Amino acid sequence: MSNKINVAIIDLYNGEENQGIRCIKDILNEIDCHYPNISVEYRQFETRLNNGIADDKFDIYISSGGPGSPWEGEGTEWESKYFNLMDKIWSHNQNNETKKYVFFICHSFQIMTRYFKFGEVIKRNSKSFGVMPVYKTEVGHSDLLLKELPDPFYGADFREWQVVQPDQKVFDELGAQILCIEKERPHVPFERAVMAVRINNEFVGTQFHPEADAASMYYHFRKPERKEQVVSKYGEKKYFEMLDLLEDTRGIMLTQKTVLPNFIKHAVSELRPEAAGDKK
């Protein structure tokens, strides 16, 4: 068996300038350095921009965030290819002992919800932007992705859309579990959104951006329109609290070092157990 781990980065940013892909690559590069006997290699596919899609030969798939509505891809070539790839991966995992692993981020999490039909994907009453607390469910406390994080933990949150109304029947059929939800807001008549779902051992998604680091958030916060967005909604005090959290080791720095790395390391340990045992 090869000691190479092949990762497909499915880029759904549609050509929009972003920090998400860079953050994902940074995490993969760092993980590669921890395994002296395993080579973690990746390839990027600009799926929404030019219909590029990975085949079903990769070991791990990381599907990115992206702008706009999670419904705008309906009927397009790229979304047809995307769902066809998910069909192939799902079928492979049902029929093979060696699995393939998929992580869905933000925009991809909303598309994941549409694919599995486990909830409603609707537009938010107002856009969410910034560093926000995320609250673990009971099962989330013991999940391998989140168990090292406090409750609540902090996530980079960019949302115009959200997942609500989880369908318990579908969750039961899939064996899926909600890992975390957004902060309760008793002063507003809106349901708490789902922030992460584990479908099974191989498929998991987060509404927040677990890949985000301080540099990527500073990139967003330095834009005048972004500052105005946060200040107008949460107040100037909250804006500066968010900035402080970028340097706090218990903030998004901890989330960035935990969630996606734990997913990848778990996949590596199951795909290459002998070589993964030599991790530095």
Per-residue model confidence as pLDDT tens digits over 47-85: 999 999 999 999 999 999 999 999 999 999 999 999 999
Instruction: Tell me the average pLDDT across 104-115.
Output: 98
**Contact in structure between 64 and 107 (CB atoms under 8 Å):** yes
Instruction: Tell me the average pLDDT across 173-199.
Output: 84
pTM (predicted TM-score): 0.93
Residue 130: per-residue pLDDT: 83
Average pLDDT over the chain, rounded to whole? 92
**Contact in structure between 126 and 84 (CB atoms under 8 Å):** no
Point out the least confidently predicted range of 99-103, 239-243, 264-268.
239-243
Q: Which residues contact residue 9 at a Cβ distance below 8 angstroms, ignoring those fewer than 6 apart?
A: 21, 24, 25, 42, 43, 44, 45, 62, 64
Q: Is 43 buried (19+), middle (13-18) or exposed (0-12) by CB count in 10 A? A: exposed
User: Considering the domain 4-276 in this protein, what is its CATH number?
Assistant: 3.40.50.880
Q: What percentage of the chain reaches a pLDDT higher than 70?
A: 95
* pLDDT(239) > 90: no
Residue 195: per-residue pLDDT: 97
Instruction: Give the distance from CA 243 to its chain's centroid.
Output: 22
Pairing of strands 177-182, 194-198: antiparallel
Omega before residue 166 within 30° of 0, cis: no
Domain ranges of the chain: 4-276
The Cα–Cα gap between 145 and 211 comes to: 13
Residue 73: per-residue pLDDT: 94
**154 vs 235, residue with greater confidence:** 154
- Note the pLDDT tens digit of each residue in 135-166: 999 999 999 999 999 999 999 998 899 999 99
The 3 state secondary structure assigned to the chain is CCCEEEEEEEECCCCCCCCHHHHHHHHHHHHHHHCCCCEEEEEEEEHHHHCCCCCCCCCEEEECCCCCCCCCCCCCHHHHHHHHHHHHHHHHHHHCCCCCEEEEECHHHHHHHHHHCCCEEEEEEEEEEEEEEEEECCHHHCCCCCCCCCCCEEEEEEEEEEEECCCHHHHHHHCCEEEEEECCCCCCCCCCCEEEEECCCCEEEECCECCCCHHHHHHHHCCHHHHHHHHHHHCHHHHHHHHHHHHCCCCHHHHHHHHHHHHHHHHHHHHCHHHHCCCC
* pLDDT(168) > 50: yes
